[in-house]
Amino acid sequence: MNINEEMWKYSVRTDLALEAREMVSEDKDVEVPGVKVTVQEDKEWDITVTWVEVFNDEGAEIMQKPKGNYITIESPQMKENDIDAHEELIMATAEMLKKLIKVNKDSKVLVVGLGNRQVTPDALGPKVVEDLLVTRHLHDYLPDEINDAVSSVSALAPGVMGQTGVETVEIVEGVVAKVKPDLVICIDALASRRTSRVNATIQIADTGVQPGAGVGNRRAGINQETLGVPVIAIGIPTVVDAATVVNDTIEYLVKAIKAQNAESPLLFGAYHDFNDQEKFMLIKEVLTPYVGELFVTPKDVDAVIDRISGVVSNALNLMLHEGLERDDINRFLY
């Protein structure tokens, strides 16, 4: 059995390339063939940026991710009601977006907010679209009223197939054919394998997106192959598998017992000797008959989604309209 089959025969639920890298090897110093990882930290604001580049077919097979770049921004302050921290996160996110996206005054960009507006953990995409500075109509109908600081941006929140009866990718394909953008940016909810990363992580990737990923209902992919134009994906894990919650809880309990120099019960000792995949599958097998495919989200997810969507929409506005400051954008949106 090769490394790919060994590591991926277990259905640990994650959409983050950073976590896929951790699943291959928990040792961050061990190089994965075909994968390059760089990390930078802002200790003052507790922001960690990890860039995972999957640069060949071997790396893509091991990681089970398409070749491309995956930038992950992590901060526990993301889900807190801290305006100053959010300002730093907005600037950090805008800076990382600029590393993957090159736009100018002549660029035409379509932003797609994926997800179900009626399901709070899945409403991230539509909420981001609500706060975007959309300007395509101004470029088309009032060209003399705007200056070169404002790019041509259009936006779409297509809903989900259960609401429309149409695959999301088909709706986006139709709009792309009509609008003819130079770039498509998709925002979607994701799932994480670490409870600490739920609502505290932003992933930016140049590999496209699969709608429904965050709620375990993957649909047809939206990427350059299906649309014919580059696709940037922005995702935030808003849910976590119930088995992951149980696994993390036991891990914390084991660590607490050891920290107190207490003798670990036999069960905890045996559990500690399992690898991550074996731990997850043990818990999954125990839970599934009782709770099914259960995903968990924090109780204050409605307020948190509002805050995080504001971080993403503001970062996009700053990145897409480089000639405008925050105050200028707020006047446009008023």
Burial 13-22 (b: 16+ CB within 10 A, else e): bbbbbbbbbb
CA atoms within 13 A on the CB side of 63: 30
Contacts 24+ apart (CB under 8 A), 224-227: 226/169, 226/173, 227/172, 227/173, 227/176, 227/184
Helix (H) or strand (E) holding 175, with range, is: helix 168-179
- Residue found under tokens 């950090």: 92
Q: What percent of the chain has pLDDT over 70?
A: 70
pLDDT, one tens digit per residue, over 74-114 is 999 998 888 899 999 999 999 999 999 888 778 899 999 99
Q: Are 197 and 15 in contact (CB under 8 A)?
A: no
pLDDT in tens, 179-234: 999 999 999 998 888 888 988 999 999 999 875 444 445 556 899 998 999 999 99
DSSP 196: G
> What is the pLDDT, as a whole number, of residue 286?
64
**pLDDT of the residue at 92:** 94
Q: Collapsing DSSP states into helix, strand and coil, what is residue 11?
A: coil
* Domains defined for the chain, CATH in brackets: 3-241+302-322 (3.40.50.1450), 248-291 (no CATH)
Interatomic CA distance for residues 61 and 59, integer angstroms: 5
Task: List the chain pLDDT tens, one digit each, 334 residues.
Answer: 343 444 433 445 678 888 888 888 765 666 888 999 999 999 888 999 999 999 999 988 888 889 999 999 999 999 888 889 999 999 999 999 999 988 877 889 999 999 998 888 889 999 999 999 888 887 666 566 566 667 889 999 988 877 888 888 899 999 999 999 999 999 999 888 888 898 899 999 999 987 544 444 555 689 999 899 999 999 999 887 766 777 666 765 566 556 655 555 545 556 667 776 777 676 666 666 655 666 667 778 888 999 999 999 999 999 998 777 776 666 666 5
Q: What is the per-residue pLDDT for 47?
A: 94
pTM to 2 decimal places = 0.79
pLDDT of residue 120: 84
pLDDT of residue 51: 95
What DSSP line would sit under 71-111, residue for residue?
EEEE-GGGGS--HHHHHHHHHHHHHHHHHH----TT-EEEE
Ramachandran sector of residue 138 (left: φ over 0; alpha: ψ -120 to 50; beta: rest) = alpha
Q: Which helix (H) or strand (E) holds 22?
A: helix 17-24
What size, in residues, is the chain?
A: 334
